[in-house]
Structures are given as structure tokens and as C-alpha cells.
Structure 1
Amino acid sequence: MTCTLILTRHAKSAWDSTAPSDHARPLTSRGRHAATALGDWLRRQGHVPDQVISSPSQRTRETYERMQLSAPAVFVERLYQAHANIIFQVLKEAERPCTMILGHNPSVGSFAMEMTRNAPDHPRFYNYPTGSTLILEFDIPKWSKLERGTGKLVDFVVPGELEAA
């Protein structure tokens, strides 16, 4: 059996927002467009999650909404400003074979590097810009058996590539 991880950093957020807190910062217009493009790309590629586990921040919620995924989402406070170890623990608790984790940097980028057996040959992988999405497959029967460094690279994309296409 195989478990598939879709690891996505939220789309571009507004630093100049009048939001009362970092948690409440919304997406920019560019971020909203990128999130829609990412959802379209996931569907075209057949990378459709069975469940989404997301940080509860405004920008991750908006990213999820704009992706228009049919998978239900749970918003987990532990993923907001989480260390990569927290993401690992949250994923080990996942119940569906194709799971999306939607979160923030630097933890999402660090987690991506920890989980992949072979990093993508992509110039943006190591700084994991907003909207970056990594697809990894794990030869495990369920997420509780997850180990670091065992993910087989399936795909990696950044929104700028989708917008140019």
C-alpha cells in the first residue's frame, strides 16, 4: 500500500494588511490567483487529497478555499508556526491515504527536506516559496508507520510556473 503526501505552503499573503494579527493576515490578489491555479493543477495531475490538515490561519484557510478541493479540511492549531517535528506528528495521525498538509514556512520547507529521499532538482525547492507544493509517496500501509527520509518524489511545483503556462 502507498500513502501520498501533498505538502503545500499557503499562497502569497498580505504583509501590508490591516489585519489585527499575523494569524489574521489574508491572501493578496496574487495569492488568491495562485491558490486557484494550484487547485486546478492538482486536479489535472490527479493529485487530489482525501483529507486536508491545515493551520487555522486566515491565509491557509483562504488557500484551501481557493483551491476548491473536494476533500474535507480540519484546521489544527498545532500547525500554526509549528516546527517540522510537529508536522511529522500531525501527519502520523492522518487517517486517509492521500493527505494534504497546508502550512507555513520555515517549517513546511524544513519538513519537505526531512521527508524526501531525493529532493527535486528545482531551483526553488530549498527556499519553498509561497504556494510551493510537493508530492511524495511513501511505501507504508498507514501514516502511523511514517519514517523521515523515505518519501519518493512524485512532483514539485511553484505557482509562478503555473501562471506562466
Structure 2
Amino acid sequence: MQLVLMRHGKSDWDASYGPDHDRPLADRGVRSARLMGRLLSSVDQAPDLVITSSAVRAHRTAILAAEAGAWDCEVITEGSIYGAGPRSVLDTVSRRAGSAQRVLVVGHEPTWSNLVHELVGARVEMKTASVAGVGLMIDEWASLADASGWLDYLLHPRMFSFLPH
């Protein structure tokens, strides 16, 4: 099984918005979300299920990536991911993942870097719109809380700046 963690795209700090939860994506964040969606599909890493934070910037990242990558999967909005720590995210995934083999979760820092560290023992920096694919040694999502795994890949949009947006 594989857990794919995607940090939301670059947000627009200059936009008018209320609470942090409502901060939108910047144009660069929109482009990066689309790029990463297409990229994951092009290397046969499209998810079977997407779970996203309810924050505007994360939800929009999930939708844009799914549309650009033509992912044939459900996108679930989960309010508990916003502000959650690594353990809470794992609990949410194990509750919601069902029979999916590859689950992509869109969320926030510092949780994403900390979660990768917990699962694989390596420190990574999850920049905006980065995607970390974590292979897991489990047969069912119910075992996720005690899982360990390995880092299959860590991708950042700037690695692919030569590709058309």
C-alpha cells in the first residue's frame, strides 16, 4: 500500500480572506497543483482515493490536481486534517481509506514533514505542492497507526519547471 502526502500549493498571502483556513491559492499554487496532478498520472502514480484538508488552499489543490491528472477517484474533504498532528492524520486515513491501495492526502506543514519522518525515519522538507510517496508494509489501512515504510519518491514542482504548465 502507498500513502502519498501532498502539501497544498503556494497560497496567496496578499488576497483578502478571513481566517487562515480561508486563504486561497496564489497563481503559482494553481499551476503547481495542476502540474503535480499531471505528473503523478504520467508516472502511473494516480491515487485510488484523495482525502483533503477542508482549508481552501488544500481543497483547491486537491481538486486541481485531480482534474489535471484525470484521476478517476473520489475526493473526500476531511475537516479534521486542518491543524491535525501526524497521529490524527493516520487515524483519519485508516478510517476513510477503505479498499484503496494508493491514498493521496492533501494537507499542511509542519505535519507533513513530521509524518514522513515518523513513517520512514528520514527528515524531509515538504515545500508547497511537494508530493511524497511512502510505501507501507501493511495489508490493510487499519494497521496504519503502527506502520513503517520507505520513501518511494519526493517530488517538487520546481524540479519540473521545464515542463509546460
Q: TM-score, normalised by structure 1?
A: 0.88
- 1:104 maps to 2:82: no
Query: Measured at CA, do residues 47 and 139 of structure 1 come closer, stay the same or move farther in structure 2, by a change above 3 Å?
Result: same
Q: Deviations along 1:59-107, whole A, 9 cap, x unmatched? A: 0111012112322111111101111111121122221111011101111
Equivalent residue, structure 2, for 1:122: none
Q: Which of 78, 84, 87 is the equivalent residue of 1:85?
A: 87
Name the CA shift for 1:30/1:63 in 2 (closer, same or farther; >3 Å): same
Q: Is the 8 A contact 1:12 1:27 kept in 2?
A: yes
- Does residue 30 (structure 1) correspond to residue 32 (structure 2)? The answer is no
Aligned equivalents of 1:61 and 1:126: distance in 2?
Answer: 23
Please give the root-mean-square deviation of Cα atoms over the aligned residues, in Å.
Answer: 1.5
Contact 1:54 1:79 in 2 (8 A): yes
Give 2:77's aligned residue. 75
Question: Quick one: distance in 2 between partners of 1:149 and 1:132?
Answer: 22
Deviation digits for residues 109-133 of structure 1, max 9, x if unmatched?
111111115x3xxxxx633111111
SS at match of 2:161: helix
Q: Which amino acid aligns with 2:141?
A: W
Q: TM-score, normalised by structure 2?
A: 0.88
* Gaps in structure 1 of 5+ consecutive residues: 120-124
Between the aligned partners of 2:150 and 2:111, the Cα distance in structure 1 is: 20
Task: Give the helix-richer structure, 1 or 2.
Answer: 2
Describe how 1:1-165 pairs up with structure 2 within 5 A: 3-67=1-65, 68=67, 69-93=71-95, 94-95=97-98, 96-117=100-121, 119=122, 126-148=124-146, 150-165=148-163
Aligned length: 157
DSSP-derived class of the 2:24 partner: coil
In the aligned structure 2, how far is the partner of 1:109 from the partner of 1:58? 20
- The answer to whether the 8 Å contact 2:87/2:145 transfers is no
